[in-house]
Structure 1
Amino acid sequence: MRRTMNRPTIAFVAALVTALPVAAQDSPPPAVSHFTLDNGLELVVIPDRRAPVVTHMVWYHTGGADDPNGQSGVAHFLEHLMFKGTAKYPAGTLESAVNELGGQLNAFTTADITVYFETVPPDALGQMMDIEADRMHNLVLPEEVIDAERSVVLDERRQRVESQPGSILAEQVSATLFQNHPYRIPVIGWAHEIEALDREDALSFYGQHYAPNNALVVVAGDVDAEVVRQMAEDTYGNVGRGPELPPRARPEEPPAQASRTVTLRDARVSLPSFTRNWVVPSYRQAETGEAEALDVLSAILSDGAQSRLYQALVVEAGIAAQARTSYDGGAFDYGRFVLYSAPRPGTTLEALEAAIDTEVDDIITNGISETELNRVKTRFIRSTIFAQDDQVSMAQTYGLWLTTDRSIADVAEWPDRIRAVTADDVKAVAAKYLRPATAVTGYLLPLAEEKAQ
Structure 2
Amino acid sequence: MKKSILTLASAVLVAFSANAQKVEFEEYNLDNGMHVILHKDTSAPVVVTSVMYHVGAKDEQPDRTGMAHFFEHLLFEGTKNIKKGEWFKLVSSNGGRNNANTTDDRTYYYEIFPSNKLELGLWMESERLLHPIIGQEGVDTQNEVVKEEKRLRVDNQPYSRFLEYVKQNIFKKHPYKGTTIGKMEHLDAATLEEFLAFNKKFYVPNNATLVVAGDIDVPTAKKMIQDYFGHIPRGEEITKNFPKEDPITETITAKGYDPNIQIPAVMAAYRTPSMKTRDSRVLDMISSYLSTGKSSVLYKKLVDEKKMALQAGAINASQEDYGTYILFGLPQGDTKLMDIVNEIDEEIAKIQTELISEKAYQKLQNQFENNYVNSNSSVEGIANSLARYNVLYGDTNLINTEIEIYRSITREEIKEVAKKYLNPNQRLILEYLPEKK
* TM more than 0.5: yes
Partner of 1:295: 284
CA contact (8 A) 1:23 1:415 kept: no
Asked if 1:317 corresponds to 2:306, the answer is yes
What letter corresponds to residue 309 of structure 1 in structure 2? L
What SS does the corresponding residue of 2:262 show, helix, strand or coil? coil
Partner of 1:13: none
Partner of 2:58: 65
> 1: distance between equivalents of 2:165 and 2:17?
44
Partner of 1:193: 186
Aligned ranges 1:428-439 → 2 under 5 Å: 428-439=416-427
> 2: distance between equivalents of 1:173 and 1:26?
41
What SS does the corresponding residue of 1:83 show, helix, strand or coil? coil
Deviation (angstroms), 1:442: 2.2
Partner of 1:19: none
Deviation (angstroms), 1:257: 2.9
Stretch deviating more after TM superposition (150-159 or 134-143): 150-159
Asked if 1:360 corresponds to 2:352, the answer is no
What letter corresponds to residue 269 of structure 1 in structure 2? I
Asked if 1:378 corresponds to 2:370, the answer is no
Deviation (angstroms), 1:265: 4.1
Deviation (angstroms), 1:363: 0.8
Q: Which residue, out of 148, 153, 164, partners 2:146?
A: 153
Partner of 2:130: 137
> 1: distance between equivalents of 2:340 and 2:421?
21
Deviation (angstroms), 1:421: 0.6
CA contact (8 A) 1:23 1:412 kept: no
Q: Which residue, out of 293, 300, 306, partners 2:295?
A: 306
> 2: distance between equivalents of 1:54 and 1:302?
36
The superposition leaves residues 36-71 of structure 1 with CA deviations (integer Å, 9 ceiling, x where unpaired) of: 111111111222222211222110011110012311
The superposition leaves residues 298-350 of structure 1 with CA deviations (integer Å, 9 ceiling, x where unpaired) of: 11111123321122222322222211212123x22111211122122343322
Asked if 1:392 corresponds to 2:385, the answer is no
CA contact (8 A) 1:109 1:115 kept: yes
How many residue pairs are counted as aligned between the two chains?
A: 424
1:146–1:190 distance in 2 versus 1, CA, 3 Å: same
> 1: distance between equivalents of 2:421 and 2:214?
40
CA contact (8 A) 1:154 1:194 kept: no
Asked if 1:407 corresponds to 2:400, the answer is no
Deviation (angstroms), 1:140: 1.6
The superposition leaves residues 233-275 of structure 1 with CA deviations (integer Å, 9 ceiling, x where unpaired) of: 11111211111223x2111111113322332344531222122
Deviation (angstroms), 1:374: 1.4
> 1: distance between equivalents of 2:296 and 2:408?
20
Identity %: 31
> 2: distance between equivalents of 1:140 and 1:169?
36
Asked if 1:260 corresponds to 2:252, the answer is yes
1:266–1:86 distance in 2 versus 1, CA, 3 Å: closer
> 1: distance between equivalents of 2:32 and 2:183?
35
Deviation (angstroms), 1:162: 2.4
Deviation (angstroms), 1:420: 0.8
What letter corresponds to residue 101 of structure 1 in structure 2? N
> 1: distance between equivalents of 2:245 and 2:158?
27
What SS does the corresponding residue of 1:325 show, helix, strand or coil? strand
What SS does the corresponding residue of 1:404 show, helix, strand or coil? helix
Provide the TM-score with structure 1 as the length reference. Answer: 0.88
CA contact (8 A) 2:69 2:102 kept: yes
Q: Which residue, out of 241, 257, 261, partners 1:269?
A: 261
Q: Which residue, out of 96, 111, 114, partners 1:118?
A: 111
Partner of 2:216: 223
Deviation (angstroms), 1:23: 9.7
Aligned ranges 1:9-24 → 2 under 5 Å: none
Structure 2: which 5+ runs fail to align?
1-14
Provide the TM-score with structure 2 as the length reference. Answer: 0.91
Deviation (angstroms), 1:102: 3.2
1:444–1:283 distance in 2 versus 1, CA, 3 Å: closer
What letter corresponds to residue 151 of structure 1 in structure 2? E
1:26–1:164 distance in 2 versus 1, CA, 3 Å: same
Partner of 1:18: none
Structure 1: which 5+ runs fail to align?
1-21, 449-453
What SS does the corresponding residue of 1:429 show, helix, strand or coil? helix
Partner of 1:451: none
What SS does the corresponding residue of 2:111 show, helix, strand or coil? strand
Partner of 1:44: 37
1:32–1:266 distance in 2 versus 1, CA, 3 Å: closer
> 1: distance between equivalents of 2:368 and 2:283?
13
What SS does the corresponding residue of 1:86 show, helix, strand or coil? coil
The superposition leaves residues 156-193 of structure 1 with CA deviations (integer Å, 9 ceiling, x where unpaired) of: 22332222352234312211111100000112112221
CA contact (8 A) 2:79 2:133 kept: yes
> 2: distance between equivalents of 1:109 and 1:43?
20
- RMSD value, Cα: 2.1
> 1: distance between equivalents of 2:206 and 2:259?
49
What SS does the corresponding residue of 2:27 show, helix, strand or coil? strand
Partner of 2:275: 283
> 2: distance between equivalents of 1:370 and 1:238?
57
